[in-house]
Amino acid sequence: MVKNKIKKEGLLIVISGPSGAGKGTVCRAYLRKHRETILSVSVTTRSPRRGEKEGVSYFFRDKVTFKSMIENDEFLEYAKVYDNYYGTPKEYVFKHLEKGHDVILEIDIQGALKVKKNFKEGVFIFIMPPSMKELKRRIVSRGTETPEAIMKRFKSAYDEINYINEYNYVVVNDSVEKAVAKIEAIVTAEKCRVDRNRDLYTNICEGGLCE
Amino acid sequence: MVKNKIKKEGLLIVISGPSGAGKGTVCRAYLRKHRETILSVSVTTRSPRRGEKEGVSYFFRDKVTFKSMIENDEFLEYAKVYDNYYGTPKEYVFKHLEKGHDVILEIDIQGALKVKKNFKEGVFIFIMPPSMKELKRRIVSRGTETPEAIMKRFKSAYDEINYINEYNYVVVNDSVEKAVAKIEAIVTAEKCRVDRNRDLYTNICEGGLCE
């Protein structure tokens, strides 16, 4: 069987975009439809909150451990947010990719740019709000923030859209179902890319059939 | 309406691959499902056969006209086969792309490589037989050729597979339905590529919403 001889690695699907574009909703909807796809789990130094589980919500580590992981180059990316560290562990991601599972990483734009430096084989998808008006509406409708915080968030989302050129794909999130369908198509297409199928030619010729 | 302001050109989908890979069958199946997609019509200097219609089967032109079209750079590619010329007219293809229709071009490998030089924005898909054994079976099952002709065809198909690296995508034609589904995904994904959506950012910010 030719099929079994082809080593099929999973894809790292990086779902990113400005705050308020709806990347979390899109990821959850995609994962519900694709049970074999793994959501990347981050390492953090912050304390577990009620109900959070080790290895599911996060990998909880103390700062000494986290810093030694930084030194050992164990992160695809990491960042310090206020007093705590957050990072994407290479081991967890690579382990699943090698098993042939796709891994989804939902991450902000600064994080995605760092991942791209370390793992350009990833598929970088920018989730775009349908319009800046809609983005504003979404930020406002959260209802938990002051007008100043809303304007800051909105301004930051606007600035971040400039980074779109660093991504492979842009998916406008006008409806979650359509956005998920586009991500599904992107994943299927990426698996057909010639540069991801270098061993196909070798395998198709095995068994002395290419003489 | 943001949507109407975005200029949406169609995609040139180049379906190519070795003889016997089944690219014709795959194209016809795709076109049946996508009525808005246009099949590229070639110009030829050969005489119309019974039932062939001008502008549908081919554009029939005399050699003088064909040669002046070559001189005027009116072809995406052309080739001389025995005593006749065949070519893909830019005007026909570009006219439909500009209207927003995708255009499918079913073409042999040498032709596809020429198209790529003239129009790298095309999506170049290599249709691969599931195995060389299956390719041999398909060539033999046509039943119209001598053993020598079969071996020549087979050898040529094998040599041609080396050109796969010039393509963007490879689709293994183990079933027509699956191959069509992959091409559909490729088309959807290509339309999400950041480099095909340069005007999205400008448009999303129109109406003073990006202040």
| Cross-chain CB nearest to B194 (options A129, A164, A190) | A164
Residues of B in contact with A207 (CB under 8 A): 133
Does the beta-carbon distance from A200 to B136 stay under 8 Å? no
Q: Which of A100, A128, A143 is the last residue of a domain?
A: A100
CATH assignment at residue A162: 3.40.50.300
**Shortest Cα distance, chain A CAs vs residue B85, angstroms:** 31
Amino acid in the structure at residue A117: K
What phi, psi does B76 have (nearest 5°)? -70, -35
Q: Do B2 and B30 fall into the same domain? A: yes
Say yes or no to pLDDT of B160 above 90.
Answer: no
> Complex ipTM, two decimals?
0.87
Residue A48 sits in the same domain as residue A8: no
- Closest C-alpha among B85, B185, B61 to residue A192: B185
CATH of residue B73: 3.30.63.10
Average pLDDT for A91-103:
97
My answer on whether B82 and B166 are in the same domain is no
Q: Are residues A81 and A3 in the same domain?
A: no
Q: Which percentage of chain A shows pLDDT scores above 90?
A: 70
Q: Does the distance separating the beta carbons of B197 and A170 come in below 8 Å?
A: yes
Residue A208 contacts B where some CB pair is shorter than 8 Å: no
Return left, alpha or beta for B73; rule: phi > 0 is left, psi -120 to 50 is alpha, else beta.
Answer: left
Distance CA(B170)–CA(B146), nearest Å, equals 30
User: Do residue A70 and residue A123 come from a single domain?
Assistant: no
Both A153 and A55 in a single domain?
no
- The sheet carrying A58-60 orders its strands as A58-60, A42-44, A84-89, A75-81
Q: Which of B13, B9, B20 is nearest to B152 (CA)?
A: B20
Tell which residue, A107, A106, A108, A78, has the closest CA to residue A90: A78
Q: Tell which of A85, A100, A115 closes a domain.
A: A100
Q: How far is CA A145 from the centre of its chain?
A: 27
The reported pLDDT for the residue numbered B20 is 81
**Mean pLDDT (chain B, rounded):** 89
Q: How confident is the model at residue B58, as a pLDDT?
A: 96
A6 near B CB under 8 A? no
Whether residues B96 and B141 fall in one domain: no
A22 CA: distance to closest CA in chain B (Å) = 16
Q: What percent of chain B has pLDDT over 70?
A: 91
The last residue of a domain, from among B100, B123, B141: B100
What is the band of A205 on the pLDDT scale with cuts at 50, 70, 90? low
Asked if A128 lies within 8 A of B161 by C-beta distance, the reply is no
Verify whether the Cβ–Cβ distance B158 to A210 is below 8 Å.
Answer: yes
Check CB contact of A154 with chain B, cutoff 8 Å. Answer: no
Q: Do B22 and B46 belong to one domain?
A: no
Nearest to A132 among B126, B136, B209 (CB): B209
Q: Per the CB < 8 Å rule, is B126 touching A164?
A: no
* Residue B25 shares a structural domain with residue B69: no
B22 and B7 co-located in one domain? yes
Q: Which residue has the higher pLDDT, A69 or B150?
A: A69
pLDDT in tens, A57-90: 999 999 999 999 999 999 999 999 999 999 999 9
What range defines the domain where residue B54 resides?
A: 41-100
User: Which pLDDT value is given to residue B7?
Assistant: 61
Domain co-membership, B31 together with B53:
no
Are A167 and A93 in the same domain? no
Give the total number of structural domains in chain B.
2
| Residue from the list A188, A197, A210 with its beta carbon closest to the beta carbon of B132 | A210
Query: Does the pTM exceed 0.80?
Result: yes
Cβ of A170 within 8 Å of Cβ of B2? The answer is no
pLDDT band at A154 (very low <50, low <70, confident <90, very high): confident
